[in-house]
Structure 1
Amino acid sequence: MFSRKNKLLLLKLLSLFSVVRGYNILMIVLAQYLAAIYILAHHLPLRKVIFDLNLFIIVVASALVIASGYIINNFYDAEKDLINKPRKSMLDRLVSQRFKLTTYFILNFLAVFAASYVSFRAVLFFSAYIFGIWFYSHKLKRIPFVGNFVSSTLSIAPFFAVFVYYKNFEHVIFVHAIFLFLLILMREMIKDLENIAGDLAQNYKTVPIIYGHRFSKYCISFLVALTIIPALLLIKYFDVGYMYIYFLGCVALLVLFLIMLWKAHTKLHYVGLHNILKLIIIIGVFSILLIDVEMILNRFEQWNII
């Protein structure tokens, strides 16, 4: 049996994991590696990509900055989250604000220090990334449209770091990036509808608060139409292997999402819509494996799995 002190320590660790959203970070790390192997550096041998120390450091630095970003965002949104996410907020409050800030600075220092091993340009990139997250959390997130756009841009920055490292400028990469960016931008706008109670209480100037629910739904519908375009381009004009099945599924889900959007009018409805977009993004990470199924089968044969 755990003692009371050990239980409290375990709860604090769970609280910190909740604050930094460890599950999201693990997913981003996996996505960075899969994107490197199958999209950005597909021309290189698998072993050379997996055991590339510079790539590992870039991924670690990205994870550290993202974790610190969640901490500073949680710090500024503490009061708002009490309204929008009361259960999660109570768990997050087991860790003091002072400890969160200390952890924030330590994580950022470690990220920049790690990046210094790769190059000075990596140091500049991650320093700018850290500043961008802080400035967004402190100022920009309260500005309609700008906050949504900047948040979505910051979300794909870890993939941009890997993209710059490999210097692969194939058109298919940009189409993939646009597709992901639009999905994340949609999710950010759905979150504004989902969290409108807390945003109103804290005087946030989000799109649904300033322009109304209906206008916000028109904007999201426009983004759905835009997102379907790169999905269809990837199916028709680019070699994405069996990943075309994923993009076909995305088109179908986005049509369903659009129908549900115009019927939605409660927080529970918007949470459901948010989860659909999250599901599309998560499945998309694992669907990268479908780009080169032959490579996977060959590896299984080498490891005597099949």
Structure 2
Amino acid sequence: MNFLNLVRYQNLLMLAFMQLVFRYGFLKFQNIPLALLDWQYNLLVLSTVLIAAGGYVINNVFDQETDLINDPQKVIVGNSISENKAYTIYIILTSVGVAIGFYLSNIISKPSFASIFILIAATLYLYATSLKQIILIGNSVIALLLAFSVIIIGIFDLYPVTVGANKQQMAVLFSILLDYAIFTFVINLLREIIKDFEDFDGDYNQGIHTFPIFFGKEKGIKIVFIFSFLPLITLLYYINYYLLNLLFVTLYLLLFVCGPLTFFILKLWNTKSKKDFHFLSLLLKLILFFGIVSVIVLNYNIKYNA
């Protein structure tokens, strides 16, 4: 159990779930060829999960002092798992993940794509060692990497089999993946900032210049409150412009994404305690989950209308 907590298994399950949903709940139902066989695609999921797990491990290594203040009961590195062992776990997870990525890149005859996995692993290491200490940069990097886990589906499963005859259809599907990637980025960016509010005390004592430390809690909440309207307004516009004729997915998004997002905004205004910020962080994770599941509803709604 200590190992599972070390690699943040809940977040890894969400990552794997997201990639599996886009493949088996959406792309598989389109009348298109896919570059990867099922077992090869599962290797792609495994690769991203392993690299992400390595990122969590190395982040825990460098976050020991901060975590002792923020949540001492959940500190693993230095307690149940030694720092040397954690480094070994990090190296194994990251190396295997990158190796799988190298193999898959050669499978689709795009060996240069292996650099994507190396770049992701290197970025996670840089985040743990330095980037997270730079206001908004660290938050944006983590949000961007999660969003890229959606885009990488198109890179490995759509792009290699895109030809003149299906180019337009593939472009539409890739644009849908891109829309979900943008949604994932914005919601996760919000969540990363909210987590900074939750970890305010530990970050302050370690001299880390996070968003709430730089702006102050009260002013920071007001800025995040205003920013939170952006995904809500954008999503409502998207529904009105693209999805209004699809009743099921429209109702789903209004009830399970826009509704909780509105509640998040209202709740945020009066949030002050660590417990409240933790609740908002979980709420955003739930919004992200429902947002991902909407691609299944979208798929069946399109077929139903057809």
Give the TM-score of the pair, scaled to structure 2: 0.84
> Distance between the aligned counterparts of 1:295 and 1:100, measured in 2?
47
Q: 1:99 to 1:252 in 2, by over 3 A?
A: same
Q: Aligned equivalents of 1:134 and 1:255: distance in 2?
A: 35
Q: Residues 201 and 161 from structure 1, CA distance in 2 versus in 1: closer, same or farther, beyond 3 angstroms? A: same
Q: Which runs of 5+ in 1 are unaligned?
A: 1-13, 298-306
- Whether 1:113 and 2:104 are equivalent positions in the alignment is no
Aligned match of 2:55:
69
Match of 1:186 in 2: 190
Return the offset for 1:295: 10
User: More displaced, 152-161 or 179-188?
Assistant: 152-161
Aligned equivalent of 1:262: 269
- Measured on the aligned residues, the alpha-carbon RMSD in Å equals 2.5
The 8 Å contact of residues 232 and 262 in structure 2, kept in 1 or not, is answered as: no
Q: CA separation in 1, counterparts of 2:302 and 2:214?
A: 50
CA distance in 1, matches of 2:40, 2:126: 28
> Residue 155 of structure 2: which of 129, 149, 164 is its match?
164
8 Å contact 2:150–2:178 — kept in the other structure?
Answer: no
Partner of 2:108: none
Task: Give the equivalent residue in structure 2 for 1:88.
Answer: 74
Change (3 A) 1:174 1:45: closer
Tell me which amino acid in the other structure corresponds to 1:242. F
| Unaligned stretches of 5+ residues in structure 2 | 106-110, 160-169
Q: Distance in 1 between matches of 2:42 and 2:302?
A: 22
Q: Structure 1 residue 44: deviation in Å?
A: 4.0
CA distance 1:51–1:82, shift in 2 (3 Å): same
What secondary structure sits across from 2:171 in the alignment? Answer: coil
- SS of the residue corresponding to residue 238 of structure 1 reads helix
**Counterpart pick for 2:288 among 281, 291, 304:** 281
Deviations 1:273-296 (A, max 9, x none): 112111111233334322233799
Other-structure match for 1:173: 177
Aligned-pair distance for 1:49?
8.4
Closer, same or farther in 2 for the Cα pair 1:144/1:118, shift >3 Å? same
**In the alignment, structure 1 residue 56 sits paired with structure 2 residue 36:** no
TM, length-normalised to structure 1: 0.84
Shift of 1:142: 0.4
Contact 1:58 1:161 in 2 (8 A): no
**In the alignment, residue 73 of structure 1 is paired with which amino acid?**
N
How far, CA to CA, are the matches of 2:217 and 2:64 in structure 1? 25
CA apart distance, 1:97: 1.1
2:297 aligned residue: 290
Deviation, 1:241, is 6.8
Q: What is aligned with 1:27?
A: 14
Alignment-derived partner of residue 248 in structure 1: 254
| 1:18 lines up with 2:5 in the alignment | yes
- Report % sequence identity: 28
Task: Give the counterpart letter for 1:275 in structure 2.
Answer: L
What do residues 27-47 of structure 1 show as CA deviations (whole Å, max 9, x unaligned)? 21121011123445652479x
Cα distance in 2 between the residues matched to 1:185 and 1:160? 17
Asked if the contact 1:192/1:206 (under 8 Å) is kept, the reply is: yes
**CA distance 1:106–1:60, shift in 2 (3 Å):** same
What letter matches 1:205 in structure 2? Answer: H
Q: Distance in 2 between matches of 1:217 and 1:203?
A: 20
Displacement, 1:26?
1.8
1:227 to 2:231 alignment: yes
**Whole-angstrom distance in 1 between the partners of 2:78 and 2:27:** 37
Q: Relative to 1, partners in 2 of residues 1:266 and 1:176: Cα closer, same or farther, differing over 3 Å? A: same
Would you say the 8 A contact 1:39–1:173 is kept in 2? no
Matches of 1:281 and 1:199, distance apart in 2: 26
Aligned residue-pair number: 283
Partner residue of 1:10? none
Residues 1:203 and 1:92: Cα distance change in structure 2 (over 3 Å):
same
Q: Deviations over 1:116-162 (max 9, x none)?
A: 22222331100000001001111110011112111211222222211
The alignment partner of 2:75 has SS state of helix
Deviation per CA, 1:231-272, whole angstroms, max 9, x where unpaired? 224422335773333321222222221121111111111111
**How far apart are the structure 1 equivalents of 2:249 and 2:208?**
39
Seen in structure 2, the aligned counterparts of structure 1 residues 294 and 283 have a Cα distance that, compared at 3 Å, is closer
